[in-house]
Amino acid sequence: MDMTGEITLDAPREKVWAALNDPAVLKDSIPGCEVLEKVSDTEFTATVVTKVGPIKAKFSGRVALTDIVAPESYTISGEGQGGIAGFAKGGANVALDAVDGNRTTLRYVVKAQVGGKIAQLGARLIDSTAKKLAGQFFARFAEITSDGLSQSATAQEPAR
């Protein structure tokens, strides 16, 4: 699954960057996140409960930040195991652009893969669930980092 999107936040780039690196903010923003702990400056462990169609699973895994260019961009990647439900792995390139000094556009490109029972549900259901979860994440992230969205977030699959 591939997904791209962007959101403009009513917050300066430095504040958005700090939030993207704050485990408490991320835990509060990630739908179903039960645990998010910082292991080092570039690694986290996480436990997330999510439902894809009829399958509910608890994924546990590690997340790493690489290619860090503070406060402009980084790559976030990880892998989680969900027991008999399967696994999820992937990553995202995240970039922040300052807009008028007090606003920030956050752009992302996600590549993800699932396996096991979840993969048997089909790409359409997985993609729609991923878009829904991304929307929930950015809505909550915007509440925390700013006075709300300056413009609506957009998430889409790239043209094939």
Count of domains for the chain: 1
Question: What is the residue range of 141's domain?
Answer: 2-156
Q: The CATH number of the domain where 84 resides is what? A: 3.30.530.20
Chain centre to alpha carbon of residue 37 = 16
Per-residue pLDDT tens for 7-64? 999 999 999 999 999 999 999 999 999 999 999 999 999 999 999 889 999 999 999 9
